[in-house]
Amino acid sequence: MTRPAAGGGRWVDVAPERLERWLAGFRDRHGDFAVTATKGAVVLRAFDDAVAELHAPPGAVDTLDVATFVEAALRPRRTGLLLARRAAVAVGIAYGDELEVHKVDTSYVQSRTAAGGWSQQRFARRRENQAKAAAEDAVDIALRVLVPRLAELSCLITGGDRRAVDAILADRRLDRLVAKRSDRFLDVAEPRLATLTQAARSARAVRIRIIDPD
């Protein structure tokens, strides 16, 4: 699956186990390449001017060459996962792409209403209170599952709905967890155990920005 990249090119996600095969395919398609390193990425520029920016998975150390980049991507890391949407949260810890612990919870948050006047305002207040209660429950889960093992986590990966996630992480008791939050944000469906399992795999992916030659 590819996605357009801001500023040009496209993004692809490659599992660490497939990275060497992908690199061989890039060389077959574009010829040999020169390698430069930037913070968090290794850049390949082929002789036909094709460019591939390999961005390390969250928690991986910066590397200066392709071989050590592949080695770092393959190395399993322990990551925290926090996925949230309006009425659901999934929290877990993964080592590599295997979940070690997890907790999934759902709450009732009323859907938006098309009614107007006082009824709309009353429903809006009720919905806001329900969403606030759901966020507080999610904070309690994060405190139980993630915070006690904070020192073991290489990073925190979040996903789902940004507003819902930010509302949870706004609790000051999670400040130390927020300090480990990765920039990577996963676009996931309603948080469920299956979603969390897939997120553990997605968090390990190497994100590659490809810019084809003119």
Laid out side by side, the sheet with 41-46 consists of 2-4, 10-14, 206-211, 51-55, 41-46, 33-38
* pTM for the predicted model, two decimal places: 0.86
Provide the 8-state DSSP code for 161.
-
pLDDT of residue 190: 92
Instruction: Enter the tokens of residue 119.
Output: 């009824």
pLDDT of residue 132: 77
pLDDT at 182 exceeding the cut of 50: yes
Residue 33, CB-side half-sphere exposure with 13 Å CA sphere: 22
Over residues 151-168, the pLDDT tens digits come to 999 999 999 999 999 999
CA distance 172 to 31: 51
pLDDT of residue 134: 78
CA distance 52 to 12: 10
DSSP 86-133: TTEEEEEEEETTEEEEEEEEE---PPP----HHHHHHHHHHHHHHHHH
Over residues 86-141, the pLDDT tens digits come to 889 999 999 999 999 999 998 644 555 555 444 566 655 665 655 677 789 999 99
pLDDT of residue 1: 66
Provide the 8-state DSSP code for 46.
E
pLDDT of residue 100: 97
pLDDT of residue 62: 77
pLDDT of residue 131: 63
Name the β-bridge partners of 51: 45, 211
pLDDT of residue 108: 45
Measuring CA to CA, how many Å separate 56 from each of 19, 37, 40? Answer: 11, 11, 6
Compute the average pLDDT of residues 14-38: 95
User: Is the Cβ–Cβ distance between 25 and 17 less than 8 Å?
Assistant: no
User: Is the Cβ–Cβ distance between 90 and 83 less than 8 Å?
Assistant: yes
Over residues 31-80, the pLDDT tens digits come to 999 999 888 789 999 999 999 999 989 988 778 889 999 999 999 999 99
pLDDT of residue 112: 52
- Could you give all domains of the chain from N- to C-terminal order, each with its CATH number? 2-76+205-211 (no CATH), 78-203 (3.30.420.60)
Counting residues of the chain whose pLDDT is more than 90, the rounded percentage is 73
